[in-house]
Amino acid sequence: MDCSICTTMPFILRPPRNTICAACYEGGKNLITLTNKLEADNNSNNKGSFIDKPSTIISATSNSTNSSKGLANALKWVKEMKEMEEEYNERLSFLSNFVTAFRHEIHPDIQIKPGNNAPSISAHRALLAVRSDIFRNMLDSDGCKSAPTDAISLPELSYEELESLLEFLYSGTLSKEKADKHVYSLSVAADKYDIRYLQKFCENRMLGSLNATNALDVLEISDICSNQTLKETALNFIVKNMEDVVFTARFDAFALKNPHLIVQITRASFMDIKNRQNVV
């Protein structure tokens, strides 16, 4: 059947000219359902949920039987979404320019000292205060002790780790190389200084790169930071890949340092065996 939408030569179509193929029909219906879902989310002040939860779209699309909006209105929504994306990108670019002040040390008003007597790094009080309530308290006077006038110390971080932390606070992101290299120390720092966006960033990096080589490290960090989601994922991975994880030199050192986590791995392994036996 000739399709009046996807054919490459519509001028040779014979009547009726309003016929469409199954693929175009399903595509148009799904597009309309998607825009209706988007409009419903906007009306309920739940903007962005369709981006964060694509499964919601699929569910809504597959369960839809009809739509009150036409294809023209759906295309209008697509255009508006494109314009919104461009606006957000421009705004993000505008806000992220503040990282220039960090990289070029434009009017810094405080020095951050890492550990091991490494050189200090220049920063800005205002940015530290708005990124973390812990930093704000460190910079504020509490009535008993005057606030620091020129420097604060984060001795648990090396120079490179501190530099990466500050770069993230200024820009909201890190290069893949820096993120992979410092994800564990940054995760601990994010937990200690209550930087939630950095916590989520590190969690996503660790979940996305979880493998037999780093599973024990991820489990250890999740325990330090009390990240239950990350901990459960790492535990499940270790249990399902026990042979690859246990028979390594890393496991011996891990066991000596984290006996309580070895107990949890053992219990999780026994529960997994029991559950599989019950299924059989």
Q: Tens digit of pLDDT for each residue in 100-111? A: 888 888 899 899
Q: With bands split at pLDDT 50, 70 and 90, how would you rate the model's confidence at 204?
A: very high
CATH topology classification for 210-280: 1.25.40
Q: With bands split at pLDDT 50, 70 and 90, how would you rate the model's confidence at 249?
A: confident
How confident is the model over 260-267, as a mean pLDDT? 94
- Taking the CA atoms of residue 38, residue 41, residue 43 and residue 46 in that order, the dihedral angle to the nearest 10 degrees is -140
**Structural domain spans, the chain:** 10-96, 104-195, 210-280
Predicted local confidence at residue 7, as pLDDT: 67
Q: With bands split at pLDDT 50, 70 and 90, how would you rate the model's confidence at 34?
A: confident
Q: What is the chain's mean pLDDT, rounded?
A: 82
Q: Mind giving me the DSSP string for 53-100? A: -HHHHHHHHHH----SS-HHHHHHHHHHHHHHHHHHHHHHHHHHTTHH
The Cα–Cα gap between 34 and 49 comes to 12
Strand order through the sheet with 121-123: 121-123, 110-113, 151-153
Asked whether the whole model's pTM tops 0.75, one would answer: no
Looking at per-residue pLDDT, the higher value among 53 and 253 belongs to: 253
- CB-CB neighbours of 221 under 10 Å: 24
pLDDT, tens only, 77-89:
778 888 888 888 8
Question: Is the predicted pLDDT of residue 31 greater than 80, yes or no?
Answer: no
What CATH number labels 104-195? Answer: 3.30.710.10
Burial 189-208 (b: 16+ CB within 10 A, else e): bbbebebeebbebbbebbee
Predicted local confidence at residue 2, as pLDDT: 62
